[in-house]
């Protein structure tokens, strides 16, 4: 009985030691697998970012090919208005890159705004949504003209459209080129609502821009256009 008990205890200890060794090996394997998962996650994030950047570059290239008359300079957005009261962005191109005051800034989707201050390696751009922004515009379908002003966020209003003028929902609004501050035929947005009132002289036309101003990462500066009599 004593030998049996000793042999049983020895066997149990041996099994326990083996189990501990297996547990240590499993923990090492789990650690290696976790490192592999972390590495693959980082690689996946990098690949996703590269895919998004490639899509943006392809969109810009297609726009350049469709508009060969424009001399365009790509710029990266490196800052923005944290309060969302002044509606501006900062780009990583400046005077040494050929950026000048009043230069129009766009994306492949449409008009973004114009340069209001320039530094050697950066520039500040007033967005189309800024209440101080005003762009001469026309309705593509009916050729009705007006003035598009910012209302904050994505909201734009086309003003000075007389009551009898033909403006309808879904109409596309473009820059008219009047005043010489922007080139003609840049996309401003699409009419979302039209309010007519016999008492008022002008219609109330709301316009939605296709540009996501709060998500801007890359923009294009139109270097081949010189605005007339620009005053920030």
Which of the four pLDDT bands, split at 50, 70 and 90, describes residue 5? low
3-state SS of the chain?
CHHHHHHHHHHHHHHHHHHHHHHHHHHHHHHHHHHHHHHHHHHHHHHHHHHHHHHHHHHHHHHHHHCCCCCEEEEEEEEECCCCCCCEEEECCCHHHCCCCCCEEECCCCEEEEEEEECCCCEEEEECCCCCCEEEEEECCCCCEEEEEECCCCEEEEEEEECCCCCCCCCEEEECCCCCCCCCCCEEEEEEEEECCCCCCEEEEEEECCCCHHHCCEEEEECCCCCCCCCC
Give the list of residues 6+ apart from residue 182 with CB closer than 8 angstroms, or none.
104, 111, 114, 135, 136, 175, 225, 227
Q: Which residue has the tokens 């005051």?
A: 101
Q: What is the mean pLDDT of residues 36-40?
A: 80
Max Cα-Cα span within the chain: 113
Q: Are 99 and 123 in contact (CB under 8 A)?
A: yes
Structure-block tokens of residue 184: 């003609």
Is it the case that residue 162 has pLDDT exceeding 80? yes
The dihedral of CA 126, 128, 131, 133: what is its sign?
positive
pTM of the full predicted structure?
A: 0.76
Residue-level pLDDT at 6:
53
| Paired tokens of 55 | 């899509």
Q: For 163-182, what is each residue's pLDDT tens digit?
A: 989 999 999 999 999 989 99
pLDDT of amino acid 20: 63
Give the residue-averaged pLDDT of 183-197: 93
Rg of the chain (C-alpha set): 30
If you average pLDDT over residues 208-228, what whole number do you get?
90
């Amino acid at each position: 009985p004593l030998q049996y008990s000793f042999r049983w205890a020895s066997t149990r200890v041996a099994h326990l030691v083996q189990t501990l060794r297996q547990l240590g090996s499993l923990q090492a394997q789990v650690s290696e697998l976790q490192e592999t998962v972390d590495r693959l996650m980082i690689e996946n994030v990098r690949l996703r970012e590269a895919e998004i950047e490639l899509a943006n570059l392809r969109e810009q290239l297609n726009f350049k090919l469709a508009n060969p008359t424009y001399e365009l300079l790509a710029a990266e957005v490196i800052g923005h208005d944290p309060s969302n009261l002044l509606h501006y962005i900062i780009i990583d191109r400046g005077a040494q890159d050929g950026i000048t005051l009043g230069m129009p800034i766009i994306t492949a989707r449409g008009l973004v705004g114009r340069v209001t201050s320039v530094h050697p390696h950066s520039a500040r751009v007033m967005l189309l949504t800024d209440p101080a922004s005003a762009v001469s515009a026309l309705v593509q379908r009916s050729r009705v003209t007006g003035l598009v002003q910012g209302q904050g966020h994505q909201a734009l209003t086309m003003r000075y459209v007389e009551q009898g003028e033909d403006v309808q929902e879904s109409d596309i609004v473009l820059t008219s080129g009047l005043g010489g501050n922007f080139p003609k035929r840049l996309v401003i947005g699409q009419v979302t609502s039209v309010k007519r009132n016999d008492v008022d002289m002008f219609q109330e036309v709301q316009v939605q821009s296709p540009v996501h101003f709060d998500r801007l990462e890359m923009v294009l500066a139109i270097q081949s256009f010189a605005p007339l009599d620009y005053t920030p």
